[in-house]
Structure 1
Amino acid sequence: MKIKAIITGATGMVGEGVLLECLQNPEVEQVLVINRKPGGRTHPKLKEMIHADFFNLSPIEPQLSGYNACFFCLGVSSVGISKEEYKHITYDLTLNVAQVLARLNPDITFCYVTGAGTDSSGNGSLAWARVKGATENALMKLIKRAYMFRPGFMKATPGQKNIKSYYTLLAWLYPVGRALYPAGFCTLQEVGQAMIKAASKGYTKQILEVKDIVELAKS
């Protein structure tokens, strides 16, 4: 099955890494990125749409039909913002986008980047982990083919423009961490490859930890 994918968050580190994998993968036929600002990348199968308000997609809804995958890489850190704002951006915004895409594309595969340590039980002590877990649960209830990706430390893809400064500073840690603690380290290439595989072939689990991401990428 050829993939026609929508990617959010492509001007961030994770989204850009996923985008690069989609552009070079022959299974991906078309890519639509929805950005708040221009990403500065061109490619024959890439279309970019600039749209600032992800809580109001009605102006661009006609252009969101005909896609069978969404790789949702948009997100914020919980550091420095209130619990209410974090929930609004993480839970409310994600669900709003997912609801619109599910209505327009009933058979869509939705791959959502959460993070290692996400708490699906709702009983954990970390507020960000509970919000991420609640978002995961709502997405899996809303969309049949929904996959939750929980990467740990990710190695950036060569050629990326958008790399978080602390990832650059800690790049030396990756080979050591991968060797000593493989359950906590993967590459952005593996994340992108695993998302493409999930969209084309599915996976046995809806929640993918690092070892699942690596396994699916290699399959």
Structure 2
Amino acid sequence: MRVVIFGASGMVGQGVLRACLLDDSVTDILLVVRKPLNKIHPKIREVVHADFTDFSAIEDEVKGLDACFYCLGVSAAGCSEADYTRITHDYTLAAARALGADNPTLTFIYVSGEGTDSTERGRAMWARVKGRTENALLAMDFHAYMFRPGYIQPRHGAVSQTGSYRVLYRLTAWLYPILRRLAPRYTTTTEHLGQAMIAVAKEKGEGAHVLNSDDINRLGTPSPQPAAAE
């Protein structure tokens, strides 16, 4: 499977990249980045691209892929609606159009969020914008899946690129097992997200197309292996 990851430098993207590197079914990983990440691995190829509203300059690089794991995003805190829309909606759809051109078998997985507003009319700005983005993706001519995680616990060294979030995760890491027990439907990890994305890409359009933390954890948890016969 040949995949592309957007947002590989972010916390979720780091978890997805790790899952792809560990999974033998993923043979090629294209990273579309603004700045080189300098990730060295036989599976990885980086493409540095500046304008995320126009991917025509790299259209040959993104042809014929099997799946896109779109993890690029920004916090709505302190962000104007115009800026949030440009990054959350416009960048995403520009990438989707470039990748989906003449590729109806593409699986496009978008990391949205718990509470996303599919009606596009709610009071929360971020939820409306994400809802509009989801609806546009689901109407496109490829296999689109929306991941709506709630709280995401970083695993295996994944770190947020937002300083305040890094501090928060560091201070509250010990609370995650408690939170997982109290609200299992609203919690997941970067590890489960990555594994679930690969599992969904293999479904090739089957299954539910909007997935919450419960679905992500189910798909992202490897099935128990049968015990070896003695």
TM score, norm. by length of structure 2: 0.90
Residues of 2 paired with 1:116 and 1:80: CA distance?
Answer: 20
Greater Cα shift, 82-91 or 129-138: 82-91
Q: Which residue of 2 aligns with 1:50?
A: 48
Structure 1 counterpart SS, 2:90? helix
Greater Cα shift, 49-58 or 151-160: 151-160
Q: Is the 8 A contact 2:103 2:142 kept in 1?
A: no
Q: Which residue of 1 aligns with 2:190?
A: 188
Residues of 1 paired with 2:147 and 2:207: CA distance?
Answer: 13
Q: Which residue of 2 aligns with 1:16?
A: 14
The Cα of 1:162 is off from its aligned counterpart by 4.8
**Aligned partner letter, 1:197:** A
Q: Which residue of 2 aligns with 1:206?
A: 209
Unaligned runs of 5+ in 1: none
1:118-138 CA-to-partner distances (Å, cap 9, x unmatched) read 111123210110110110010
Q: Is the 8 A contact 1:110 1:147 kept in 2?
A: yes
From the CA coordinates, give the structure whose radius of gyration is larger.
2
Q: Which residue of 1 aligns with 2:129?
A: 131
Q: Is the 8 A contact 2:100 2:142 kept in 1?
A: no
Structure 1 counterpart SS, 2:16? helix
1:57-89 CA-to-partner distances (Å, cap 9, x unmatched) read 111111111211000000111111211111111
Unaligned runs of 5+ in 2: 224-230
Question: CA, structure 1 residues 141+53, in 2 after alignment: closer, same or farther (shift >3 Å)?
Answer: same
Q: Is the 8 A contact 2:34 2:49 kept in 1?
A: yes
Q: Is the 8 A contact 1:73 1:113 kept in 2?
A: yes
Structure 1 counterpart SS, 2:52? coil
Residues of 2 paired with 1:129 and 1:196: CA distance?
Answer: 26
Residues of 2 paired with 1:159 and 1:143: CA distance?
Answer: 36
Q: Is the 8 A contact 1:16 1:162 kept in 2?
A: no
Residues of 1 paired with 2:158 and 2:38: CA distance?
Answer: 12
Question: How many equivalent pairs are there?
Answer: 217
Structure 2 counterpart SS, 1:142? coil
Residues of 2 paired with 1:143 and 1:16: CA distance?
Answer: 28
Residues of 1 paired with 2:138 and 2:195: CA distance?
Answer: 21
The Cα of 1:38 is off from its aligned counterpart by 1.7
**Aligned partner letter, 1:119:** D
1:131-185 CA-to-partner distances (Å, cap 9, x unmatched) read 1011001000014311000111112121335564122222122111101110111
Structure 2 counterpart SS, 1:86? helix
**Aligned partner letter, 2:130:** K
Q: Which residue of 2 aligns with 1:105?
A: 103
Residues of 2 paired with 1:40 and 1:171: CA distance?
Answer: 28
The Cα of 1:56 is off from its aligned counterpart by 1.7
RMSD: 1.5
| Identity across the alignment (%) | 46
Structure 2 counterpart SS, 1:116? coil
The Cα of 1:200 is off from its aligned counterpart by 0.8
Select the residue among 156, 159, 177 that pairs with 1:158.
Answer: 156
The Cα of 1:109 is off from its aligned counterpart by 0.1
Structure 2 counterpart SS, 1:67? coil
